[in-house]
Chain A
Amino acid sequence: QVQLQESGSGLVMPSQSLSLSCAVSGGPISSDTHAWSWVRQPPGKGLEWIGYMYHSGTAYYSPSLKSRASISIDKSKSQFSLTLTSVTAADTAIYHCARLTIFGGWYFDSWGQGTRVAVSS
């Protein structure tokens, strides 16, 4: 059973960059039937999709974050990462990494517990 674990900066200054990593274990990151994604939940709000990446390196991003978000994958370490630039208080949220089952219905079948990120000076 695949497991995902987030790590990274918990406090980020406004206008700086947020960097998070997600370690994947219990399953191959080089999977042709899955993609790797980031989803966040701001305080008191719902789930917001940020982006996803295939193991080939092709990535797709939410239109609202496309100019600031970047996902990368390191197969040798079995992990993938998120960088979000020029952060503001609106980027304060719990950030989850998730595995996306592709083909057919496209759904998130495994999630990390999440890491809390606060943007504050």
Chain B
Amino acid sequence: SFVLTQPPSVSVAPGKTARITCAGNNIGSKSAHWYQKKPGQAPLLVIYYDSERPSGIPERFSGSNSGNTAALTISGVEAGDEADYFCQVWDTGSDHPVFGEGTKLTVL
């Protein structure tokens, strides 16, 4: 089945830009979605359809998807952005969702 690979961790200073990648074979041909997961909280959809932001998600969150890599970019990182971030696509071959392993974002 389709495999998504994320870096285990990304660290960034407050106010800087964080980029979290999600690699998959020709992932650019699929729609990529991103979720923020904080301990004890429900996962939160932050990007869908590669680059769309749900209502209430700050403009600091943006997404891209091309070739073999999708990416979530968080500009002007804040302490409250510290969380695990998961990418997800739909595997049309098996008709089910696939999640990346997750990336822990640490705000220094």
Chain A residue total in the interface (Cβ 8 A): 25
**Interface of chain A: mostly helix, strand, loop or mixed:** strand
B43 and A96 form a contact (CB under 8 A): yes
B96 and A111 form a contact (CB under 8 A): no
> What chain B residues lie within 8 Å of A46 (beta carbons)?
86, 99-102
A-B contact count (CB 8 A): 66
Q: Does B53 contact A (CB under 8 A)?
A: no
- Of B9-17, B20-28, B72-80, B87-95, which binds chain A? B87-95
CA A105 to CA B42, docked complex, whole Å: 21
CA A105 to CA B34, docked complex, whole Å: 12
Chain B residue total in the interface (Cβ 8 A): 27
B54 CB to closest chain A CB (Å) equals 7
Per-residue 0/1 for A78-94: is the Cβ within 8 Å of any B Cβ (1 yes, 0 no)? 00000000000000000
CA A109 to CA B66, docked complex, whole Å: 23
CA A113 to CA B86, docked complex, whole Å: 16
B45 and A60 form a contact (CB under 8 A): no
> What chain B residues lie within 8 Å of A32 (beta carbons)?
none
